Structure 1
Amino acid sequence: MPVDTRELIEAISILANERNVQVTMKQSAKGAMVCAASAFTGGILLGPVGLAIGGTAGGLMAYKMTSGSFRPLADVLLNDLTDDQQERLVQHVNNAVREFQISDLALLLPLLMNNASIQQAVLKTAISFVSNELRCQIID
Structure 2
Amino acid sequence: MPVDSRELIEAISIIANEQNVRVTMKQSTKGAMVCAASAFAGGLLLGPVGLAVGGTAGSLMAYKMTSGSFRPLADVLLNDLTDAQQEQLIRHVNKALAEFQISDLAILLPMIMSNANIQQAVLKTAKSFVSNELKLQIID
State the TM-score, normalizing by the size of structure 1.
Answer: 0.91
Is residue 2:37 matched to residue 1:37? yes
Is residue 2:3 matched to residue 1:3? yes
User: 1:8 & 1:33 partners in 2: Cα distance?
Assistant: 39
Moved more, 45-54 or 110-119: 45-54
What residue number does 2:16 align with? 16
Structure 1: where are the runs of 5+ without partners?
Answer: none
What residue number does 1:115 align with? 115
Q: Deviations over 1:15-65 (max 9, x none)?
A: 111222122211212111111111122222222222221111110000011
Is residue 2:68 matched to residue 1:68? yes
What residue number does 2:135 align with? 135
The answer (yes or no) to whether the contact 1:34–1:58 under 8 Å persists in 2 is: yes
User: 2:107 & 2:126 partners in 1: Cα distance?
Assistant: 18
Moved more, 81-90 or 13-22: 13-22
State the TM-score, normalizing by the size of structure 2.
Answer: 0.91
RMSD: 1.4
User: 1:104 & 1:30 partners in 2: Cα distance?
Assistant: 48
**Percentage of matched positions with identical amino acids:** 83
Structure 2: where are the runs of 5+ without partners?
Answer: none
User: 2:18 & 2:91 partners in 1: Cα distance?
Assistant: 23
Aligned pairs for 1:94-113 within 5 A: 94-113=94-113
